[in-house]
């Protein structure tokens, strides 16, 4: 590949602002990876957000995907949907309507309880034990849905599984021994399978903080 070809290839790639440990960014990276959509990855440090990211999306949360035509996708679920609309080799979108309902529950009540459990000192009125129980109640519902299948809908993992498990991982990691002691065997097994999966491992590579004069990192 000549230098000019290489340069023009880079110019046509979307740019992903991402943060390795953010569960929203994880779900976006998994969808991009499975769809084989190449992007330029810019690793963000949340307390030192790059000007280019704030200019693209003033709300400045990760992930943000900037398409070559200038379109900005600033919700993680929309990044997933966009990537899978390019290429969905494992039919993640098959049960999309059902998945959307579950993802609303995950991004709404489950995430609220997770934040108020994990970061309870940031909320004046948050009791971590009450929030832990609220999250556990949702996990118990999900445990029944998964039963022995190891996935939410149909016979294989799809959008719901990949969009939700990074948040369950975050919840579990806050107090692993407590999590492991709960009676949610299907969720516990499902989570372990996802954490060990080659897809998840492949999106957890560590990148240094992006600086505007860095060479492009292709993800
Ligand atoms: N609804 C957004 C939420 C994204 C979000 O809140 N990401 C967090 C990091 S996990 C963030 O960027 N927070 C901004 C900050 O901490 O300044 C999405 O689905 O993409």
> Pocket of ligand 1, candidates 24, 83, 108: which has the most ligand atoms within 8 Å of its Cβ, to mutate?
24
Domain end point (choices 90, 107, 126): 90
CA atoms within 13 A on the CB side of 174: 18
Tell which phi-psi region holds residue 34, choosing left (phi > 0), alpha (psi between -120 and 50) or beta. Answer: alpha
pLDDT tens digits for range 95-123 = 999 999 999 999 999 999 999 999 998 99
pLDDT tens digits for range 40-59 = 999 999 999 999 999 999 99
> Pocket of ligand 1, candidates 16, 61, 74: which has the most ligand atoms within 8 Å of its Cβ, to mutate?
61
Does ligand 1 have an atom closer than 6 angstroms to the CB of 61? yes
With a threshold of 0.85, does the pTM exceed it? yes
Does ligand 1 have an atom closer than 6 angstroms to the CB of 76? yes
Question: Containing domain of residue 34, as a range?
Answer: 3-90
Does ligand 1 have an atom closer than 6 angstroms to the CB of 188? no
Work out how many domains the chain is built from and give that number: 2
Same domain flag for 63 and 86: yes
Angle of helix 159-174 relative to helix 185-196, nearest 10 degrees, comes to 100
Confidence at 148, pLDDT banded by 50, 70, 90: confident
Same domain flag for 8 and 71: yes
């Amino acid at each position: 590949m000549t230098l000019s070809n290489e340069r023009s290839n880079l110019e046509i790639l979307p740019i992903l602002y991402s943060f390795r440990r953010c569960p929203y960014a994880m779900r976006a990276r998994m969808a991009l990876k499975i769809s084989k959509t190449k992007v330029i990855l810019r690793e963000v440090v949340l307390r030192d957000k790059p000007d280019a990211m704030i200019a693209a999306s003033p709300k400045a949360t990760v992930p943000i995907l900037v398409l070559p035509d200038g379109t900005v996708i600033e919700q993680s679920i929309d990044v997933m949907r966009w990537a899978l609309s390019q290429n969905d080799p494992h039919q993640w979108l098959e049960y999309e309507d059902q998945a959307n309902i579950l993802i609303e529950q995950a991004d709404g009540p489950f995430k609220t309880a997770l934040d108020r459990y994990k970061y309870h000192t940031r909320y004046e009125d948050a009791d971590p034990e009450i929030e832990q129980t609220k999250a556990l109640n949702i996990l118990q519902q999900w445990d029944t849905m998964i039963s022995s299948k190891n996935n939410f809908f149909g016979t294989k993992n799809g959008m719901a599984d990949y969009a939700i498990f990074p948040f369950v991982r975050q919840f579990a990691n806050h107090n692993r021994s407590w999590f492991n002691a709960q009676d949610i065997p299907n969720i516990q097994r499902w989570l372990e399978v996802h954490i060990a999966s080659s897809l998840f491992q492949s999106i957890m590579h560590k990148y240094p903080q992006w600086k505007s004069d860095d060479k492009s990192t292709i993800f």
